[in-house]
Amino acid sequence: MRAEKLRKLSTSPLGNPTRLAIALYLLSRERSTFIEIAKALKMTPGNVEFHLKALEKAGIVRTYYGFGKRPRKFVELTEEGIEELEKALKILREVVGGD
């Protein structure tokens, strides 16, 4: 039963632990910068970029540039991303809880 639930999670864009960590990080924030994500999750910029591209393609996050003293890349969860994250967390709770 647990294996079946984990297979279901593996088909999600958030089935990858790094992408799940990025989504969880963004959940508690309205938005974050690319650099903040890299620092908080102790990831290289290249690794962050790779996973953000996959999340953006799946509709989980959206990225855009803002300007202050210098251009910055911002990232935020989409409504679809929040829904997908809720599904992934439900599956994880079921697996850990043994339901």
Indicate which CATH number applies to the domain containing 50: 1.10.10.10
Domain that holds residue 41: 2-97
Residue 24: how many CB atoms within 10 A of its CB? 15
Q: Give the residues of the chain that fall short of pLDDT 70.
A: 98-99
Total domains, the chain: 1
Task: Please give the Cα distance from 32 to 29 (Å, whole number).
Answer: 7
CA distances from 51 to 16, 37, 58, 60, 69 (A): 9, 11, 11, 11, 27
pLDDT at position 99, please? 52
pLDDT digits over 9-25, tens only?
Answer: 888 999 999 999 999 99
